Chain A
């Protein structure tokens, strides 16, 4: 637990360190670069746009100002022209007024003063009107007081001009003495009917109104209009600055020169003060005047300048804003990025419990979310990896355990001295112990392998069928034990008690069968032997019982006879019945003889199997020869022909007992040979399969089939009257059984002859022993 906490805090520290490293790195990397980029973009775009705009605006403004000035100059010129023309027209008309002309002709010009004054009053543009004679002397004036009447104005250019040309003439400008206002005199000749100049009417035109109109109205604040009388090198007749009135025009000499030469146009000029002026100039039609409208380029560009200034301010502001915004933007990007990065590092450091903030609804938010999802997935992956590791570990442990258990199981199945094996549902070996392998090797001669079907090893079809049926029973869920008898006959046919147990998997499905087998061969053989002995014993018991019964019955019978006739004897003797007495004695004698014979035969019978002579090797031919020699007498009496045939067989056993077999059979055959014309007895050996069968065949009276089962019984006689006690065939049977043989009789019935067959495996099996005879 402590180690775990330690590990967690270490991890946290590492994460913190990583986060701070990430922050700095980002600030100098992304943040600064991004911020610089924003500023650079703002500056570049602002600069280029500003530059282009200023440049364009400047040209445009210059053109605009020049055009404007020219237009205004033209307008002003037109205005001035009209204005002066109107005044001149009034003056010309006035000069032709009849009262004026009459008065002049009549020399009564002096009296025209009120008319002139009235005219001046109406004509506001006029300062005063005077009438002069052809010598230049003032005749009349609109002014009261007439200070100049009589004075000569002959040297005045307007007078000289009129006299010289006979046409109205505009005099050069002068300043009015009264109010220091520029005045130009318009002189008109008063002509008589002959066309002679009789007087000159001069009207002083005050240019104040015109000047005001031209100079003060409709311009920009910085724009100035200057009215110039182009004669005599030019005189300013209207200007803002009254100081400049009637001075030669200064400024751009080019514009002035052009103006003085009567041209119209516009020019950007550099003034004496070094400043640029934008000048429009126009000649006033019908007048020796020109008008010049000047705007200093600084004024013309003032908008541009202020615009530029503002642009700069705005740019700066924009940059500032952009900077601030940028900072926020950068922080907005870098902060989550930093966090993300730090979290990433922390996640990288293994802390998968880091919660990624995913509130932002932008790409970083998406990234964070995506990353968060990835982390969650990673976490689940890590969890599953951890699970996997745990599982792997557990599985390894389980495997180890399984291995151990397998080893234990193997040890267990190897422990008992009985065969154990298991098969799957296709009868293939899944396991077996070495005992089982050894058994299979011993009974089928093959080595077995796991994975191969046990049925393939079972070379005996019957065994295979039984085994398969048993496996199928077990595969159907049955637990059972059964006996099996398997193995190759030539190898080792063995008995087994096999217990079949179905094997189920976790789901309860049967996946195979475990078989415990117990080799019962030894026990089975013992059992068989025991059974054989038991059977033999039972047979012996039955035989003994029969023997006892027979003895009790057959021995008792003559005893009863003797005792009874012995009982009759005294009374028969008393009665002196000689015949009876003889009869009684005969009966008693016969009975006693019979008893003696029975006892002798019983003794003989009991000796068979009890008293055994040492076994010797003897050929079949020798035995027959010996037997025939014993029975030779009766054979000869009955004239029976005995024929011996068959292969030569060597027997091994008790010579006299073996001889007895043929001896008894021969006696029996002769006894029942009947009265045939050519009685014959055949003796021989036959092969019935693997069995060697001896036979003694006669062509005698034969045996009724219904009695054939009885003939080998002790003291059994078919015919009561035939000689003998009925022990012969019982003795034969006894000896045959002594040599593990069996004896049977074949006869088709009375008169059909009889054949006795018997086997002597016990005597034959030892024929090759040799030597011991």
Chain B
């Protein structure tokens, strides 16, 4: 496990947030590889290996998807729905990471088989703590099938 970093696909439209998440992962020094796309459509294209995402070296298939809900073009929930409906993709854990703590969003996310639902804390410490915990959990402890 150690030798093979966990590939995480981050779907986040806000470049500031992408920066924050990248930074927390860097600081945690966990063996992982974070790839970011900024809208839903791009995420789907990535997963479906469409266009430039056909390149397995630069865009390897992720072990985990970190998905924001409010996305341009294709909404986060829609992306979730498509992933979980696709037998080739539905084994990939999808963790929702969003600013929305709306009940409706949570319910819908779990209905569509989101593996976890995390709300971005406004507080810096909290955000850091969350990302560390997330890292340990999903990168260190969580086990992924080899041929995912």
Contacts and interface: CB of A to CB of B under 8 A. Distances in A.
A560 to B, nearest CB: 5
Given A553-B98, A553-B100, A718-B73, A560 B17 contact: yes
Interface string B104-146: 1100000000000000111111011000000000000000000
B124 A590 contact: no
Contacts of B74: 706
Contact of A561 (B17, B71, B98): B17
B70 interface: yes
Interface string A564-580: 11111000000000000
Of the candidates A557, A567, A568, A706, the one having the most CB atoms from chain B within 10 angstroms of its own CB is A557
Interface residues of A, number: 32
A552 B99 contact: yes
Interface in A700-729: 704, 706-707, 710, 716-721
Contacts of A720: 13, 38-39, 71-72
A537 B102 CA distance: 20
Given A561-B14, A566-B124, A720-B13, A556 B99 contact: yes
Contacts of A549: 100, 102, 104-105
SS of B interface (majority) = loop
A552 B101 contact: yes
A585 to B, nearest CB: 12
Contacts of A560: 17, 20, 99, 120-122, 127
B17 A565 contact: no
A591 interface: yes
B96 to A, nearest CB: 13
B50 interface: no
A626 interface: no
B102 A565 contact: no
A717 B122 CA distance: 24
Given A552-B99, A552-B100, A557 B124 contact: no
Contacts, number: 75
B19 interface: yes
B120 A567 contact: no
B16 A553 contact: no
A565 B99 contact: no
A716 B16 CA distance: 18
B88 interface: no
Contacts of B14: 557, 561
Nearest to A548: B102
Contacts of A704: 73
A565 B24 CA distance: 11
A549 B77 CA distance: 14
Given A549-B102, A560-B99, A591 B70 contact: no
Contacts of B101: 552
A587 interface: yes
Nearest to B71: A720
For chain A, what secondary structure do more than half of its interface residues adopt (helix, strand, loop), or is it mixed?
helix
Which of A549, A550, A591, A720: most chain B Cβ within 10 A?
A: A720
B72 A717 contact: yes
B73 A557 contact: no
Contact of A590 (B16, B123, B128): B16
A543 interface: no
Nearest to A559: B122
Contact of A556 (B69, B122, B124, B125): B122
A724 to B, nearest CB: 12
Contacts of A591: 16
A563 interface: yes
Nearest to B119: A556
A557 B16 CA distance: 9
Interface residues of B, number: 31
Interface string B13-52: 1101101100100000000000000110000000000000
Contact of B16 (A550, A552, A556, A587): A587
Contacts of A583: 19
A563 B123 contact: yes
A553 B16 CA distance: 14
Contact of B125 (A545, A553, A567): A567
Contacts of A587: 16, 19
A553 B123 contact: no
Contacts of B104: 545, 549
A560 B104 CA distance: 21
A552 B123 contact: no
A463 interface: no
Contacts of A563: 122-124, 127
B141 to A, nearest CB: 25
Contacts of A545: 104
A583 B69 CA distance: 26
Contacts of A719: 39, 72-73
B100 A561 contact: no
A565 B127 CA distance: 11
Contacts of B71: 720
A488 interface: no
Interface string A512-550: 000000000000000000000000000000000100011
B112 to A, nearest CB: 18
A707 B69 CA distance: 16
Contacts of B127: 560, 563-564, 567
Interface in B61-100: 69-75, 98-100
A568 B102 CA distance: 28
Interface in A339-389: none
A574 to B, nearest CB: 14
A304 B54 CA distance: 178
A414 interface: no
B16 A565 contact: yes
A706 B69 CA distance: 18
Nearest to A584: B19
Contacts of A556: 99, 120, 122
B99 A553 contact: yes
Nearest to B120: A560
A568 B73 CA distance: 31
A554 interface: yes
Contacts of B38: 720-721
A568 B99 contact: no
Max count, chain B CB within 10 A of own CB: residue among A552, A553, A566, A718: A553
Interface in A679-696: none
Contacts of B72: 716-720
B73 to A, nearest CB: 6
Nearest to B37: A720
A561 B13 contact: no
Nearest to B16: A561
A551 to B, nearest CB: 11
Contacts of B105: 549
A564 B124 contact: yes
B25 to A, nearest CB: 14
B73 A707 contact: yes
Contacts of B16: 557-558, 561, 564-565, 587, 590-591
Contact of A564 (B20, B39, B75, B100): B20
Nearest to A552: B100
5 contacts: A556-B122, A561-B16, A568-B124, A591-B16, A720-B71
Given A552-B101, A557-B14, A563-B122, 15 more contacts: A553-B70, A553-B99, A556-B122, A557-B99, A558-B16, A560-B120, A563-B123, A564-B124, A565-B16, A568-B23, A587-B19, A704-B73, A706-B74, A717-B72, A720-B72
Interface of A: 545, 549-550, 552-554, 556-561, 563-568, 583, 587, 590-591, 704, 706-707, 710, 716-721
